[in-house]
């Protein structure tokens, strides 16, 4: 039997609200090892950009990342956010190791090619992008890796990669060795049938019901790439994918994704 591995992803809605972030990290610290945390921070990055007079631009849930934006998101994701999370986890007794994709060459990406949209310095991931063997070694050493949304191309260029994509790719890369449960945690109770009703959590979504929910516009915005990443992870052997509230991890209300 494969050992269990839990991977949690948190996004900007939680990271930006310090009490919620600290409470999530406390709950995360109580989860047994091996475990991994992946964080985004898109909301705070957009706010910081606006304060500095750079207009944030998103297309299909991905940030258009010019040179000035890359500089800022590198400081914000790989610097401030990653290190604050690592320091908080250390204070809760978790031996966290903060990494970008460049550290140990753990995630190598390819700059997104220009088609209808030029995304700039945005990195896409492929099957070979994540070094699951190195992550396994970190876990064996008793470390808890904390990934940010910055990757590299191996030629010296840093790239901005969607954090949901990083979480799904890290999960896929470890699914041969571990029985992986991937938890997408955010500020709602799960995927909601009625956006204004936190009790209306859809308990199970299959690829068929996903298509229907999408057509009826019940699922939109950032939830679309999140669920597409989730189904892709299941297709590649990840055991379980859950969408849930960051402050009620493993609670009653949650959305479980299934292939059938």
Tell me which stretch binds ligand X2W (CB under 6 A): 34-42, 83-91, 196-204, 232-240.
34-42
State which of residues 5, 6, 12, 183 lies at the interface with ligand X2W (CB under 6 A): 12
26 is in an annotated binding site: no
State which of residues 6, 38, 42, 88 lies at the interface with ligand ADP (CB under 6 A): 42
Nearest to residue 123, comparing CAs of 103, 108, 106? 108
Complex with ligand X2W: residue 152 or 215, whichever CB lies closer: 152
CB of 140 to ligand X2W, least distance (A): 28
Burial class of residue 6 in the structure, from the number of CB atoms within 10 Å of its CB (0-12 exposed, 13-18 middle, 19+ buried): buried
Burial class of residue 103 in the structure, from the number of CB atoms within 10 Å of its CB (0-12 exposed, 13-18 middle, 19+ buried): middle
Mark 99-128 with x for binding to ligand X2W (rule: CB under 6 A) and - for no binding.
-----------------------x------
42 is in an annotated binding site: yes
Q: Which residues pair with 99 in a beta bridge?
A: 147
User: How far is residue 26 CA from its own chain's centroid?
Assistant: 18
Complex with ligand X2W: residue 62 or 245, whichever CB lies closer: 62
Secondary structure of residue 200 in the 3-state scheme: coil
DSSP 193: S
CA distance 150 to 73: 8
Which run of H or of E encompasses 22?
A: helix 18-29
220: contact with ligand ADP by CB under 6 A: yes
Nearest to residue 230, comparing CAs of 208, 202, 207? 207
| Residue in the block written with tokens 């859950």 | 242
Complex with ligand X2W: residue 40 or 101, whichever CB lies closer: 40
Number of residues that bind ligand ADP (CB under 6 A): 18
CA distance 39 to 41: 7
State which residue has the least CB distance to ligand X2W: 40
DSSP 2: P
57 is in an annotated binding site: no
Residue 34 site contact among ligand X2W, ligand ADP, none (CB < 5 to 8 Å, cut-off depends on kind):
none
Mark 160-199 with x for binding to ligand ADP (rule: CB under 6 A) and - for no binding.
----x---------------------x-x--xx--x----
Within 10 Å of residue 96's Cβ, how many Cβ atoms? 23
Q: Which residues bind ligand X2W (CB under 6 A)?
A: 11-12, 40-43, 45, 62-63, 73, 122, 149, 160-163
| Contact positions vs ligand ADP (CB under 6 A) | 11-13, 40, 42, 164, 186, 188, 191-192, 195, 218-223, 226
Summarize the annotated binding site as residue ranges: 41-42, 63, 160
């Amino acid at each position: 039997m494969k050992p269990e591995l839990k991977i949690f992803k948190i996004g900007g809605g939680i990271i930006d609200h310090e009490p919620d972030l600290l409470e999530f990290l406390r709950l995360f610290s109580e989860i047994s090892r091996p475990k991994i945390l992946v964080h985004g921070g898109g909301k705070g990055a957009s706010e910081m950009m606006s304060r500095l007079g750079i207009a944030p631009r998103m297309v299909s849930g991905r940030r258009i990342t010019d040179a000035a934006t890359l500089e800022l998101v590198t400081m914000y994701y790989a610097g401030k956010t990653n290190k604050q999370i690592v320091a908080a986890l250390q204070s809760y007794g978790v031996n966290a190791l903060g990494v970008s994709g460049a550290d140990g060459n753990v995630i190598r990406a390819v700059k997104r090619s220009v088609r209808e949209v030029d995304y700039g310095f945005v990195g896409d991931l492929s099957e070979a992008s994540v070094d699951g063997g190195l992550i396994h070694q970190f876990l064996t050493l008793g470390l808890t890796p904390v990934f940010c949304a910055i990757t590299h191309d191996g030629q010296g260029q840093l790239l901005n990669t969607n954090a949901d994509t990083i979480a799904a790719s890290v999960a896929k890369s470890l699914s041969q060795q571990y029985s992986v449960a991937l938890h997408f945690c955010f500020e709602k109770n799960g995927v909601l049938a009625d956006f204004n009703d936190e009790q209306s959590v859809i308990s199970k979504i299959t690829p068929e019901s996903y298509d229907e929910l999408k057509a009826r516009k019940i699922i939109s915005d950032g939830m679309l790439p999140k669920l597409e990443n989730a189904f892709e992870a299941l297709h590649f052997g990840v055991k379980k994918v859950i969408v849930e509230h960051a402050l009620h991890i493993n609670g009653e209300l949650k959305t479980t994704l299934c292939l059938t």
